[in-house]
Each structure stands twice: as C-alpha cells, then as structure tokens.
C-alpha cells in the first residue's frame, strides 16, 4: 500500500499538541497494536500529530490515523540513539513518516554521516526533518543544515544541557529567538499549564509523551506519592 503523506504537515501543527506514543523496551505497552490505539486515542482527543518509534509502528500508525506521523527510530540508549544513521532515517520515510525526528546534537553519528547528510536524504525521499537538540547552538546549527523544525527533546539527556525536572522553557525561548524554523517544546511537559507556558515561551507546537501515554511511569509516580 502507498503510504499516506499529507502535502504540508507543518501548517497544521501551529499552536497545537503533538502526542508521543512510545513505550520503553520491556514495557507491557510496547506492542504495535497497543501503540496504534494510543495514537488513535490521541487523534480522538485533539492531537495535531503523533510521534512514533520504529518503522513497523510508524507504518501501522500511518494506516490507522489521519494525522501527520513524526517517525523516529531509537537504536540503543547511549550517545546518538534517536535515528542515528541515514539508513534509519530512510526506513522511516519508507514507512510513511511525514516528518523524521533525528538527533542533531554535536556528537558523532555511528555511520560517520553528518546531520546535513540525513536531512538531504530525507528531503530527497519527500519527508521533513525534526532536529532533536539539547542546546540553542545545536538548534541553530541544525536549522543551518536544513532542519524543517527544531525540538528541545534532548535537553536534560545530552551534554551541555541542564538536568532538571521541569521542561526546559529557557531553551524554547532561546531557540525561538534564534531560528527561523518552527520550535517544538518537548521533554517532561507534565501538565496542560506547562504546555501552555511552552507556547507562551515561543514554541510553535508542544510534544507530550509520558504524561499522556505512559501508564507504567505514571503509576510509579502515584505509587511513590503514597510511600511514606
């Protein structure tokens, strides 16, 4: 089946919520059918797009929802692990991702490629690229290398960024001042108020994952809250 890919997904994201429908390795929710149901629930609840891990899940989600699908492919959990190579990126394009999210930090990529190589490959395949960054410098560099949007995804998880519980709204604001492309606020956004604050700080769109789609992590939070 030819993947459905909306002509211009970016306009539909302005001022809107993107729901990340993922589950970590070993989690009971890590099952393609279950993740697709999460994406359908996100659509029913008013999400403008979904963010989905791995080509198989991307393809199943593209077939099941009428929203732009942002695809990523996590491989490993240290260094550059979000869509680390051009091969990973192209597999996501083939699966029908309208937008490919990829690590755009300054760290070396395992295939020796540059972020610009990945952007060129995805663009040649008809997709757009979301640059996952941890710092404003990385966001500026990613935009210069052709990223179509820049997301704060890796702040708190990659070198040069603050380890903190709240979302990094300072980075949202710094990116909004310094890049022309849309800025996405992502990472540890836990309440509707924080989501609104991210837009007020200059984000074009807001990604929420754990607070919506991760019952194991949420249960753990509540359980810990009852522990004296």
Ligand X SMILES: CC(=O)N[C@H](C=O)[C@@H](O)[C@H](O)[C@H](O)COP(=O)(O)O
- Which residue ranges make up the site for ligand X (CB under 6 A)? 20, 22, 72, 153-154, 157, 186-189, 207-211
Nearer to ligand X by Cβ, of 20 and 85: the residue is 20
Q: Is the dihedral of CA 189, 195, 200, 204 positive or negative?
A: positive
Q: Which of 75, 74, 70, 114 is nearest to 95 (CA)?
A: 70
First to last CA, the chain: 54
Closest CA to 19 of 82, 78, 65: 65
- Cβ atoms 151, 133 nearer than 8 A: yes
By beta-carbon proximity to ligand X, the closer residue of 76 and 124 is 76
Q: Which residue lies nearer to ligand X by CB, 97 or 207? A: 207
Nearer residue to ligand X within complex by CB, 71 or 96: 71
Nearer to ligand X, 72 or 183 (CB): 72
Q: How far is the CB of 107 from ligand X (least distance, A)?
A: 13
Query: Cβ of residue 201: shortest distance to ligand X, in angstroms?
Result: 16
- Least Å distance, CB 228 to ligand X, is 27
In 3D space, the residue among 147, 153, 144, 146 whose CA is nearest the CA of residue 198 turns out to be 153
Tokens of 38: 């999460």
Nearest approach in angstroms of CB 145 to ligand X is 20
Provide the minimum distance between the beta carbon of 154 and ligand X in the complex, in angstroms, as a whole number.
6
Cα–Cα–Cα angle for 78, 159, 134, rounded to 5 degrees: 95
> For ligand X, which residue has the nearest CB?
209
Taking the C-alpha atoms of residue 39 and residue 205, their distance in angstroms, rounded to an integer, is: 17
């Amino acid at each position: 089946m030819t993947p459905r890919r909306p002509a211009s997904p970016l306009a539909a994201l302005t001022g809107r919520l993107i729901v990340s429908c993922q589950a970590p390795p070993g989690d009971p929710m890590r099952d393609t059918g279950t993740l697709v149901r999460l994406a359908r629930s996100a659509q029913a609840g008013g999400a403008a797009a979904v963010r989905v891990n791995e080509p198989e899940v991307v393809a199943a989600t593209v077939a099941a929802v009428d929203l732009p699908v942002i695809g990523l492919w996590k491989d490993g959990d240290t260094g550059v692990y979000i869509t680390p190579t051009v091969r990973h990126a192209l597999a996501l394009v083939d699966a029908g991702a309208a937008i490919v999210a990829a690590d755009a930090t300054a760290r070396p990529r395992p295939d020796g490629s540059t972020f610009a190589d990945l952007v060129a490959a995805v663009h040649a395949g008809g997709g757009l690229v979301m640059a996952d960054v941890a710092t404003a410098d990385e966001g500026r560099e990613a935009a210069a290398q052709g990223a179509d949007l820049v997301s704060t995804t890796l702040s708190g998880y990659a070198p040069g960024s603050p380890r903190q519980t709240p979302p990094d709204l300072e980075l949202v604001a710094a990116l909004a001042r310094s890049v022309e492309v849309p800025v996405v606020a992502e990472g540890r956004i836990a309440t509707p108020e924080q989501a609104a604050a991210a837009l007020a700080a200059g984000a074009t769109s807001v990604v929420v994952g754990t607070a919506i789609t991760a019952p194991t992590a949420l249960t753990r939070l509540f359980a810990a809250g009852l522990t004296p």
